[in-house]
Chain A
Amino acid sequence: EIKQGGTLTVPIINTGFVENFNPYTSGGLFEGVLYEPLMVFNNMTGNVEYRLAESAEYSQDLKTITVKLRDGLSWSDGKALTAKDVAFSFTMTKATPAFDQKAIWTTGNLQSVTATDAKTIVFKLNNADSTFIWGLPKYHILPEHIWSKVADKDLPTFTNPNPVGSGPMTDIKYLKPQQMQLCRNANYYLPNRPYIDCITFRSYNDNSQVQPALMKGEIDWGSNFIADIDNTFVATDPKNNHYWYPANDAIHLYVNTKEAPFDDLNVRKALSMALDREEIVDIAAYGYPTANFNAAGIAELYGPYISKDVTAKYKDITKFNPEKAKQLLDAAGLKDLDGDGFRDMTDGKRVEFDINVVNGWTDWIQVVQMVTEYYEEIGIKANVKTVDWAVYDSGLKDSDYKMSINWSMVATNPIEAYQAYFSTSQIGKSWHAGHGVHSPEIDALIDSFGLTNDAQKQQAILDELQEFTAANLPFIPLFSNATWFQYSTAKLVGWPSKENPYVQPVWYDGGKRNLIINNLHLK
């Protein structure tokens, strides 16, 4: 027996709420709340959770996607939600490139979106691409009868007053700079859903303020780093205060293999072996993330896709083994020539490099600080270099770094991560491609992924990519970030948890939170 009612309170880190309900410019505040996605790709279960859509099918040549909507959809104002609305929503972003989240128009692969009948939308692509569909949930489905009234040029500044949506919460109860409340959509397409009545957003400056709010029970759902959570949060109410930190994106040290001595694979291996990942996770990150011993460039987040063989084959590289690291370095000709405790190149110049990290990203700074300490043990002089975001950003893109800490992509499928890692077309554009390991074969391999819809073939491609990554080691794996997720069962239950991992509990992902909001109910 599930009770209806109750309010969910969540913290939002921003500068206060303003009257802007344009889903593209309001910082993702309303995705999955005011606006229902077509579907959600659930990486935790590997399932596709269809929401507004009932199904989505690729044609045989992978050049057409046919999306069918559910029956009886309607907008919160009672008007019917049809395929025309969906087609409009996608076409609209063509005129407004800033809304074109996955650049489906700007990069030119999408030919057209058409509503063939009231329930069917057909996407026509220029080239076969089985990964295209993953981008669809990023586009918001908007009511044509409102949005078509806005001139194209005004769309970016359109604040969408009195919003009409299809999500679970569409009724704006109030909006004050520090707090706003949305309540249930009377016309929601799922019966009895959502169970809860309202959702309250509270504005906070940063994590350090969310922490006391959690401790005082002012909020139900935290998505923030909380220091010493067992003592500060769980201990205040052990029965109701919980957290679950499943793995998220993988953090690596990116190495610029174009520069000596990093051009030597053995040196990279040594730098990897020198690190005690467990300890780093434990100290620098309170033990919340999971150490990553997979040299293949992906980690726990993509669990089902990880090749066990590759992991096993290269496991030595990620094992903490300073002695072996020293041997490798000796063998590579990096020896301490002047007796200062640090290794020198063969020409006598000390091996010394900076590890770039963004100023203010303290968890990473701590990680890098620990890394430098480990490197010092094996005689390598590395310095923490905290830089402004702009510098960090252009450094990664322009390959202007020796070593830089960075995160890998969070995507529906690891192929997107590999695309970013190795596609030659990504050099100078993405942060992940500046390391210098590329080859035409790999490019072709990556491209071939989108040309098939066969899961086994796709896995084979992924295996090959994993092997390639581990063998070349352009990234020194460190750990998988934790998905920060604290929740209180004092009022509401139905949370995803270790026991019931029905979705990765990411607040900032509209689809995932949509699933959770639909699942929460009074105790």
Chain B
Amino acid sequence: MSFLLRRLSFYFTAFLIAISFNFMLPRMMPGDPIDALFAAAQGKMDPAQMDAVREMYGFVDGNVFEQYLSYMQSVFTLDLGPSVLMFPIDVTTVVGMSLPWTMFLALGSLIVALILGVTIGTYSSYRREGFFGQFVPPFLAFISNFPYIVTALLLFYFFGLQLELLPLAYTYDPAIDPGFTLEFIGSVAKHAVLPMGSMILVGIATWVFNMRNAMINVLGEDYVTMAEAKGLSSFRVMYRYAGRNAILPVATAIAMAIGFSFAGSIMTEVVFNYQGLGNILLKGIMARDYPLIQAILLILVSAVLTANFVADLLYVWLDPRISK
């Protein structure tokens, strides 16, 4: 138990550091949202109006320490103020709108890539000498080194534009009303194929290699040989005796991968105009929408920390050797 407590306190401290950093970030950088707003308006705004607008958005200078305190307060009350980009809508609302999609995209692709990768990794290490084990992993290493965006663009171009097989944008067909209907779910699935597909393509190799390395270490262990000597079926040996142990080191990597997956989703969302966090993050950055950027970073940090914590729990659960 003290193990978990210690981890928890670590996460909390890390969280504090992260959000403090989050606070400092915009204040260290040049330019403010109003400038950006001006750039976007390309001169259609009267300069005399700028200060008024600045005030409207709440960008008035003040004591940094006071700002910090009120920022902290806003973080813990989840009241992050209005977004600049979508003024006067609350950042919380904006984020709440896109977060589910990003979670769906990032976690969905992570899970699919994980399952596929682990399966392929297990198999390719079991049949290491065969064609599969010799060629599939290097091939995947190759595929996954296309940058996210390029993979996404290529898929977008070929499947969306050329073959017209799959939709080009959005999370679902705007003509359909969201709800628990087959039509809606189908539309969501159809719209997710390309963005998820590109993320899976890029992500899968990591798991193949992680799993393969872990498996190969485990396959040499005595307990696997013993399981074979016991006359168990090779399926049981592969999954219960070898895979079960090989998944352990892979489990720690999952938490880490969540950060990467979110990063990947930023890129893919932009390409596929997927209404997720990444999409608005990038727009928010361009617009210097600090409240929005801060909120999204906050969410990312919390997500990664939570994922790490869950991974810790998972590890404790998976590995009985860790003291409880």
Contact = CB atoms under 8 A, between A and B. Distances in A.
B222 interface: no
Nearest to A392: B39
Contacts of B286: 360
Contact of A389 (B31, B93, B161, B169): B31
Contacts of A327: none
Given A216-B164, A409-B43, A20 B49 contact: no
A55 interface: no
A98 B270 CA distance: 31
Interface stretch (B52-60, B224-232, B243-251): B52-60
Contacts of B38: 393
Interface residues of B, number: 47
Contacts of A20: 86-89
A429 B169 CA distance: 41
Interface string A86-101: 0000000000111011
Interface string A456-474: 0000000000000000000
B36 A18 contact: no
B206 interface: no
B283 A15 contact: yes
A215 interface: yes
Interface in B265-324: 270, 273, 275, 279-280, 283-284, 286
Contact of A393 (B39, B48, B86, B94): B39
Interface string B26-51: 00001110011011001111111101
Contacts of B35: 389-390, 393
A203 interface: yes
B74 to A, nearest CB: 16
B171 interface: yes
A25 B52 CA distance: 13
B43 A156 contact: no
Contacts of B86: 15-16, 18, 20
A22 to B, nearest CB: 7
A101 B89 contact: no
A178 B52 contact: no
Contacts of B53: 98
A391 B97 contact: no
A244 interface: no
Contacts of A204: 169, 273
A302 interface: no
Decide if the interface of chain A is mainly helix, strand, loop or mixed: loop
A269 B19 CA distance: 54
B159 to A, nearest CB: 12
24 contacts: A15-B279, A96-B56, A97-B52, A98-B55, A103-B46, A156-B87, A157-B88, A159-B89, A178-B171, A178-B174, A204-B169, A209-B169, A209-B273, A212-B160, A216-B168, A360-B286, A388-B31, A389-B31, A389-B35, A389-B39, A410-B43, A429-B47, A430-B47, A431-B43
4 cross-chain pairs, A with B, having the tightest CB-CB distances, nearest first? A390-B31, A97-B52, A179-B174, A157-B88
Interface of A: 14-16, 18-20, 22, 25, 96-98, 100-103, 106-107, 156-159, 176-179, 202-205, 209, 212-213, 215-216, 218, 358, 360, 388-391, 393, 407, 409-410, 429-431
Given A179-B170, A216-B168, A388-B31, 16 more contacts: A15-B280, A18-B86, A20-B86, A25-B88, A97-B49, A103-B46, A157-B87, A177-B98, A202-B174, A203-B273, A204-B169, A358-B39, A390-B31, A390-B35, A391-B30, A407-B43
